């Protein structure tokens, strides 16, 4: 018999050969799969962006020199910041309403947010094309009310992209906000009121500061998702709304410029990676995964 080993993978114990895997080993299959089909391809992107076929920085140089690229970058930032601000302005009152309502109203509101949240993004983008098009219900209403003399252009420009994006991103703002707000003790507000604070002041001095972690989590999450958005800008935007994501698609599927596509991918990945790691350090990963949990309720 071989000498019994202790520790290691925990397969040997007290001299008896017993299969005692530590529970942590259950992570292994997923880890191996991720390394092969997720981590490895992403690191290959790095290689593509730095070699052609010898080492080169020309793709990164082109990024800084090319106006079309800078336009895509500024478009992406503009769209993402606008989508984040709009989602916050619209989502905060909705989350507040949910957090301060009774159980029945709360689950009704939650259900009405979850249905569009899980509905295919293609279906939703298509729905906006039907609604906002020249013959759509919005334009026909505007025309019949005499508010416009010819159909307003609501699609294939920034308006269309913003409407479509806020529609998709709003739940990602509401879930973290609601998660934080629903844990705020309502007695705190009652105390503030009983001490003479008018409702508005009680809200501003007590509720608002306590809800700020939710605001931060929601904004970071929405921004993170917005900068990588592809489907909505591609379907609802026009030629002027090229973003980093749609540019990657163009590089791969039309221009066949793989090195440049990989470089754009690396830039996008770096931005997302930095925000993601900072976010999980400062606010905790649970605030991010809470969206998945909330969404799967």
- Name which of residues 173 to 192 contact another protein (CB under 8 A): none
Q: Binding to another protein by residue 142, rule CB under 8 A?
A: no
Question: Helix, strand, coil proportions of the chain in percent (round to 5)?
Answer: 75, 0, 25
Span 257-276, contacts to another protein by CB under 8 A: 258, 261-262, 265, 268-269, 272, 276
Interface with another protein (CB under 8 A), residue from 71, 96, 106, 159: 96
Q: Which stretch binds another protein (CB under 8 A): 78-86, 91-99, 153-161, 180-188?
A: 91-99
Q: Considering only the stretches 66-74, 150-158, 180-188, 246-254, report the one whose residues sit in contact with another protein under the rule CB under 8 A.
A: 246-254
104 binds another protein (CB under 8 A): no
Tokens encoding 81: 């910041």
Minimum distance from residue 100 beta carbon to another protein (Å): 9
Q: In terms of DSSP H, where are the helices of the chain? A: 28-34, 40-50, 58-65, 67-99, 103-118, 121-132, 137-144, 158-181, 186-194, 199-202, 208-227, 231-236, 244-253, 258-283, 286-295
List b or e across 120-148, with b for residues whose CB sees 16 or more CB atoms inside 10 angstroms: eeeebbeebbeebbeebeebeebeeeeee
Residue appearing with tokens 């252009």: 153
**Closer residue to another protein, CB minimum distance, 28 or 188:** 28
CB of 226 to another protein, least distance (A): 10
- Subset of 15-44 contacting another protein (CB under 8 A): 19-31, 33-34, 37-42, 44
By C-alpha distance, which of 239, 248, 229 is closest to 167?
A: 229
7 near another protein (CB under 8 A)? no
Name which of 3 and 53 has its Cβ closer to another protein: 53
Using CB under 8 A as the binding rule, the residues of this chain from 50 to 89 that contact another protein are none
The least CB distance from residue 66 to another protein, in Å, is 19
Distance CA 209, CA 206 (A): 6
């Amino acid at each position: 018999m071989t000498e019994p080993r202790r520790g290691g993978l925990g397969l040997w114990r007290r001299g008896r050969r017993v299969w005692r895997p530590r529970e942590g080993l259950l992570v292994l299959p997923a880890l191996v799969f991720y390394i092969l089909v997720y981590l490895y391809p992403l690191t290959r992107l790095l290689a593509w962006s730095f070699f052609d076929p010898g080492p080169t920085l020309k793709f990164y140089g082109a990024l800084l020199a090319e106006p079309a690229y800078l336009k895509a970058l500024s478009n992406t930032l503009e769209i993402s910041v606008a989508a984040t601000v709009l989602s916050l302005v619209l989502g905060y009152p909705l989350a507040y309403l949910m957090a301060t309502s009774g159980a029945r109203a709360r689950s009704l509101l939650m259900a009405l947010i979850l249905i569009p949240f899980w509905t295919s993004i293609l279906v939703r983008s298509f729905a906006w094309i039907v609604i906002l098009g020249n013959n759509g219900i919005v334009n026909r209403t505007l025309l019949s009310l005499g508010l416009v003399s010819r159909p307003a252009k609501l699609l294939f420009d920034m308006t269309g992209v913003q409407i479509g994006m806020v529609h998709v991103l709003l739940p990602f703002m509401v879930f973290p906000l609601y998660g934080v707000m629903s844990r705020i003790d309502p007695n705190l507000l009652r105390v503030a009121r009983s001490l003479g604070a008018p409702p508005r002041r009680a809200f501003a001095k007590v509720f608002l500061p306590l809800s700020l972690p939710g605001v931060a989590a929601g904004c970071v999450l929405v921004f993170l998702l917005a900068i990588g958005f592809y489907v909505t800008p591609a379907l609802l935007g026009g030629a002027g709304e090229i973003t980093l994501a749609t540019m990657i698609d163009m590089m791969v599927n039309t221009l066949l410029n793989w090195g440049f596509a990989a470089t754009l991918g690396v830039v996008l990945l770096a931005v997302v990676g930095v925000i993601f790691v900072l976010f999980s350090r400062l606010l905790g990963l649970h605030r991010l995964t809470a969206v998945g949990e909330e969404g799967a309720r």
